Structure 1
Amino acid sequence: MSEMSHLSAAALLDRVRHSEDPEVVQRVLTLVETVGVDEIAELWSDAEPDSLPGVLWRLYMLRTWMRSNRDAIARLWRLGEPVATTASAIAGVDQAPTEDDIVRLADSILSGAFVGDFAVALERAAAFTDVVALGLRVEARRMVSRADANGGFASSSDEKIVRTKAARLMHTSANLMTTAKAFQHGANLWRRGRLE
Structure 2
Amino acid sequence: MSGRQHHRPMTPGDGFFEAVTDEGSDPAAVRERAELAARLLVRGAHDSADAAVAERLVHLAETEGLETLAELWAGAPVDTVAGCLWRLYLLRSWVYADPAGVAAQFEAGRSGAPVARVVAGVADPPGPDELRAMIDQVLRGIVTGDFADVLFRAAAFARVVATGRAVLAPDGPEPTGPGHDVGRVLALAEQLESAGHVELTHGLG
Q: Spell out structure 1 runs of 4+ moving beyond 3 A.
A: 166-171
**Aligned partners of 1:2 and 1:29: how far apart in 2?**
23
Contact 2:94 2:179 in 1 (8 A): no
AA aligned opposite 1:115:
T
Alpha carbons of structure 1 residues 6 and 85: separation in structure 2 relative to 1, 3 Å: same
Where in structure 2 are the equivalents of 1:117-196 lying within 5 Å? 117-143=146-172, 162=173, 165=174, 172-196=181-205
Alpha carbons of structure 1 residues 80 and 8: separation in structure 2 relative to 1, 3 Å: same
Partner of 1:155: none
- Of 31, 45, 53, the residue aligned with 1:16 is 45
- Of 90, 110, 118, the residue aligned with 2:139 is 110
Contact 1:83 1:95 in 2 (8 A): no
With normalisation by structure 1, the TM-score equals 0.82
Alpha carbons of structure 1 residues 72 and 166: separation in structure 2 relative to 1, 3 Å: closer
Tell me the percent identity: 33
**Aligned partners of 1:101 and 1:18: how far apart in 2?**
28
**Aligned partners of 2:115 and 2:108: how far apart in 1?**
16
Contact 1:78 1:95 in 2 (8 A): no
Contact 1:84 1:94 in 2 (8 A): no
AA aligned opposite 2:204:
L
CA shift digits 1:86-117 (9 cap, x unpaired): 22210001453111100111101111133201
Q: CA deviation at 1:142?
A: 2.5
Q: How many residues align?
A: 176
Unaligned runs of 5+ in 2: 1-29
Contact 1:77 1:95 in 2 (8 A): no
Q: CA deviation at 1:83?
A: 7.8
Alpha carbons of structure 1 residues 192 and 49: separation in structure 2 relative to 1, 3 Å: same
Where in structure 2 are the equivalents of 1:29-68 lying within 5 Å? 29-68=58-97
AA aligned opposite 1:172:
D
Partner of 1:146: none
Q: CA deviation at 1:41?
A: 1.2
With normalisation by structure 2, the TM-score equals 0.79
Contact 1:137 1:170 in 2 (8 A): no
Alpha carbons of structure 1 residues 121 and 23: separation in structure 2 relative to 1, 3 Å: same
**Aligned partners of 1:171 and 1:102: how far apart in 2?**
16
Higher helix residue share = 1
Unaligned runs of 5+ in 1: 144-161
Alpha carbons of structure 1 residues 100 and 169: separation in structure 2 relative to 1, 3 Å: closer
